[in-house]
Amino acid sequence: MTENQKVKKWVDWAVDLCKPNKVMWIDGDTKVLDELRNAAIKSGELIKLNQELLPGCYLHRSAINDVARSEDKTFVCTTKEEDAGPNNNWRPPKDMYTRLEGLFDGCMSGRTMYVIPFCMGPVGSPFAKLGVEITDSIYVVLNMDIMTRISPDVVKMLDSANDFVKCLHSTADLNEDNRLICHFPEDNGIWSINSGYGGNALLGKKCFALRIASYQAKQEGWLAEHMLIIGIENPKGEVHYICAAFPSACGKTNLAMLIPPEIYRKKGYKVWCVGDDIAWLRIGPDGRLWAINPENGYFGVVPGTNRQTNPNALATIATDTIYTNVVHNLDSNTVWWEGLDSNPPENAVDWRGEVWNGKTAAAKGAHPNSRFTTPARNCPCLSPEFENPMGVPISAIIFGGRRAKTAPLVYQARDFAHGVFVGSVLASETTAAQTGAVGVVRYDSMAMKPFCGYNMGDYFGHWLEIGKKLGDKAPAVFNVNWFRTDENGRFMWPGFGENMRVLEWILARCNDEINAIDTSIGYMPRPEDINTDGLGNKMPPMQELLRIDKELWQTEIKSIKEYYQTFGDHLPRQLWTELENLEGRLK
């Protein structure tokens, strides 16, 4: 319970609307959480896995119509449509509140309402923000306990807080037709109904820490970004911090937990993970940009995680983890997924809950978007600065998409404003994993297209403003592309841990230790500036990886123009100038 009258009033209002049988406050008490876990095991919502092999680990299978973020059912409801921008679905707040009140009316009858005060960011940090999530799902309670900070200290903070984000959630009857994830940035509110999926239901994550926070950040002069944060320690023991934005499913968690190749490890290089998905960035007292990770855990994609791609993630998810929609190995009572090893279980149940034999089955056993929810404290390379209330100072910002031909392995923006341009035209090409044509360019500016809680044209303007305030203390901005392919469609760059070689060049640039070639698109390394020692048969064709195809870039300029036009007057004039300058340089 809290002393905060505003919170009490809001909870009372939610009780009147949702009509639960019982209300239960969650403050992180382990006895209470254990009881809830046991109740979920009893009802079948959770399966207790082999506690000798996977201590503290559980398996959950979602409804089969509820396995990913529902972008078409996600709305930003601002008074004026243009404030939401072409990047968001929009409805007038009044209309949406009326529809939601109808759906929430009595949705918790016969159920318990859980009230969870939570903190995004280290408790006591001036960067941190409070929320309260109301939900009727034990799975959501247990996931929120991993992903956010929940404790009696947080309840105490809430007692005297003026501000908190109101997060109302119900799984209701999981009816897709009535599924809605709605944001009311002007009221600090989120309403989500008919989904239990992480991105739709753990409202601290995408809904609060990105959509609502990006809106708050615009008002308050900071940035809420879809970025990992890592610290790279060099042999001298100095640590430089980098933020990186990649669209979903481009390997952010792998980069966030990177283990440097042996030749780097021998020299004393280490990579520390501060965050794998979200960064809140503010200008510090020294005028530099500082970042915290507002989350307390990782909600990562499971398939493809293995000893080669991400050994740190594999170690992290061996304990205290909730697995969602992976294969249940009935012989060992453990879990399996595609890409773990080449030894799928024969006596198993797939993510749909059906009998599955990995040796003979045609269909995949784990859902391609199956997930782990796991606490940050378990990560072997967790940064010692993870709980630092001031965060870490950022030397470089990296943007990266999935491009077969256009973008080279790496280039550096000419200055911060050019970096904003580079981030604004971040794009990925569709792969066979998506429906529709392959190779279509989709813009995902700063990897924030699905997560920016206001008009992206204004968001670009906000980035430029932050750049002006930072002046010559602004971090250097880079673009990377791990996904360039050869004429046979094979990736040219080995990726994963070897990405350290590109990070080394990026840091050398930040520290003014190496010259670069001034090209039409930005500053680039000479092929010999990327260290390829010890790559053996993974030796990449560096010339090809760094080639700029001017014709492709001219085509790119045409599609950037079309994209920019969608923002009308909201697109800052300065970005048009950056585009014209690029066009001029390419001639």
Contact 380, 304 (CB under 8 A): no
Coil vs helix vs strand at 397 = strand
Residue with tokens 């615009």: 218
In the bound state with ligand OXD, the residue whose beta carbon lies nearer, of 248 and 316, is: 248
Closest distance between Mn ion and the C-beta of residue 224, in Å?
A: 13
Other CB atoms within 10 A of residue 263 CB: 14
Closest CB to ligand OXD among residues 195, 248: 248
List the single partner that 461 binds among ligand OXD, Mn ion, none, CB under 5 to 8 Å by kind: none
Q: How many residues does the structure list for the chain? A: 587
**What DSSP string runs through 276-332?**
SS-EEEEE-TTSSEEEE---SEEEEE-TT-STTT-HHHHHHTTSS-EEES-EEETTT
DSSP SS3 for 427: strand
Helix segments in 134-239, DSSP class H:
138-147, 152-159, 198-201, 213-220
> Measured from the CB atom, is 121 or 522 closer to ligand OXD?
121
Question: Between residue 343 and residue 382, which ones bind Mn ion under the rule CB under 5 A?
Answer: none
* Shortest reach from residue 451's CB to ligand OXD, in Å: 8
Q: Taking the complex as a whole, how short is the minimal distance between the CB of residue 304 and ligand OXD, in angstroms?
A: 14
CB of 297 to ligand OXD, least distance (A): 12
- Cβ atoms within 10 Å, residue 331: 9
**Binding residues for ligand OXD (CB under 6 A):** 69, 199, 248, 277, 299
State the nearest-atom distance from the C-beta of 245 to ligand OXD, in Å: 11
CB crowding 220-248: b at 16 or more within 10 Å, else e: eebbbbbbbbbbbbbeeeebbbbbbbbbb
Smallest CA-to-CA distance from 85 within 391, 514, 452 is with 452
- For residue 518, count other CB atoms closer than 10 A to its CB: 10
Q: Residue 102: which of 180, 29, 47 has the closest Cα?
A: 180
* 320 scored as a contact of Mn ion (CB under 5 A): no
- Give whichever of 133 and 277 is closer to ligand OXD, judged by the CB atom: 277
Nearest residue to 400 via CA among 199, 249, 295, 294: 249
Closer of 117 and 453 to ligand OXD (Cβ): 453
Which has the closest alpha carbon to 259: 272, 274, 248? Answer: 272
Q: Which is nearer to ligand OXD, 249 or 586 (CB)?
A: 249
Among positions 224-283, residues that touch Mn ion (CB under 5 A) are: 277
Which of residues 366 and 582 has its CB atom nearest to ligand OXD in the complex? 366
Which residue lies nearer to Mn ion by CB, 199 or 344?
199
Q: Which option in Mn ion, ligand OXD, none does residue 183 bind, with CB closer than 5 to 8 A by kind?
A: none
Going by C-alpha positions, the residue among 31, 182, 28, 195 that lies closest to residue 119 is 28
Q: CB-based burial of residue 310 (10 Å sphere; 0-12 exposed, 13-18 middle, 19+ buried)?
A: buried
Query: Smallest distance, Å, CB 277 to ligand OXD?
Result: 5
Shortest distance in whole angstroms from residue 199 CB to ligand OXD: 5
199 binds, among Mn ion, ligand OXD, none (CB under 5 to 8 A by kind): ligand OXD
Q: For Mn ion, which residue has the nearest CB?
A: 277
CB of 206 vs ligand OXD, minimal distance in Å:
7
Judged by CB under 5 A, the chain residues 276 through 295 that form the site for Mn ion are 277
Compute the distance between CA of residue 246 and CA of residue 253 in angstroms, rounded to an integer.
10
382 DSSP assignment? B
Residue number of the CB closest to ligand OXD reads 248
| CB half-sphere exposure, 535, CA atoms < 13 A | 19
Q: Which residues are catalytic?
A: 250
Q: Which does 28 bind (CB under 5 to 8 A by kind): ligand OXD, Mn ion, none?
A: none
Other CB atoms within a 10 A radius of the CB of residue 99 amount to: 16
**Closer by beta carbon to ligand OXD, 133 or else 504:** 133
Question: In the complex, what is the shortest distance from the CB of residue 277 to Mn ion, in angstroms, rounded to a whole number?
Answer: 4
Select from 450, 430, 453, 432 the least CA-distant residue to 442: 430
Characterize 76-90 residue by residue with b for buried, 16 or more Cβ atoms within 10 angstroms of its Cβ, and e for exposed.
bbbeeebbbbbbbeb
Give dist(CA 327, CA 136) in Å, integer: 26
Binding-site ranges for Mn ion (CB under 5 A): 277
